[in-house]
């Protein structure tokens, strides 16, 4: 645990607290956390607008941390899609909403480009000369640009391709997303499970004594 007096002000963007209304708020801005689609956003307090609730004006979600699993669940008091009447409003209650981090690949460098060049321009012609099949390689970047009409939160963590699981960026930050999972969804394993685990560190007003008094 880190004493507050020893922390730098720049680290306040990593500090969150629960206010008197029960909303999870950012220490840096003082604004509450909300969900917009699958993204976590900072929300200003807004006046009530009709018909309530709606996408602009609605109750803030509650973020619940489980020490046993390390997961952070998001609890809503109304349909987070804010569908207009008379759309059904019960399907959302059969979902489990969890926070997860998004894998981040390191930027490509000269060695990556050279390896791809050798694989596509040397290996394939040689294999063809000796009667082997032509190798058609696809990079993760090329796959990402394929026009597939799927939203990010509609792709299950378990269905990520091997290339999408790579999380080798040296950056310390990762984007956050909210997952919508069925209550009967199978338990995630490996990297997907680790991305849903969080560690809550309590701050202290003073450093803990470690030596004799």
Distance CA 6, CA 196 (A): 29
Q: Check if the beta carbon of residue 61 is closer than 8 Å to that of residue 76.
A: yes
The whole-number pLDDT of residue 66 equals 92
Encoding tokens for residue 11? 């680290």
The pTM for the full model equals: 0.66
The whole-number pLDDT of residue 25 equals 92
List alpha helices for the chain, DSSP H.
Answer: 110-118, 124-129, 140-144, 191-195
Encoding tokens for residue 129? 């000369």
186 phi, psi to nearest 5 deg: -70, 155
* pLDDT (mean) for 141-149: 47
Q: What is the mean pLDDT of the chain?
A: 74
pLDDT confidence tier of residue 95, bands split at 50, 70 and 90:
very high
Residue boundaries of the structural domains of the chain: 1-102+174-213, 103-173
Predicted confidence (pLDDT) at residue 154 exceeds the cutoff of 90: no
Predicted confidence (pLDDT) at residue 60 exceeds the cutoff of 70: yes
């Amino acid at each position: 645990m880190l004493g507050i007096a020893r922390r730098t002000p720049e680290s306040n963007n990593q500090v969150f607290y629960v206010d008197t209304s029960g909303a999870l708020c950012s220490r840096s801005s003082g604004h509450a956390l909300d969900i917009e689609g699958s993204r976590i956003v900072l929300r200003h307090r807004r006046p009530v607008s009709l018909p309530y609730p709606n996408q602009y004006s609605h109750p803030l979600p509650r973020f619940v941390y489980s020490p046993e699993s390390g997961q952070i669940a998001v609890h809503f008091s109304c349909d987070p899609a804010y569908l207009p009447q008379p759309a059904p409003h019960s399907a959302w209650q059969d979902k489990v909403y969890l926070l997860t981090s998004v894998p981040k690949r390191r930027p490509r460098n000269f060695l990556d480009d050279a390896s791809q060049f050798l694989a596509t321009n040397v290996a394939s012609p040689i294999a063809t000369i000796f009667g082997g099949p032509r190798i058609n390689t696809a990079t993760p970047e090329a796959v990402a640009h394929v026009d597939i009409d799927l939203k990010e939160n509609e792709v299950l963590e378990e269905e990520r391709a091997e290339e999408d699981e790579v999380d080798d960026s040296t950056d310390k930050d990762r984007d956050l997303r909210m997952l919508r999972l069925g209550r009967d969804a199978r338990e995630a394993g490996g990297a997907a499970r680790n991305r849903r685990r969080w560690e809550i560190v309590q701050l202290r007003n003073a450093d803990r004594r470690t030596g004799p008094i």
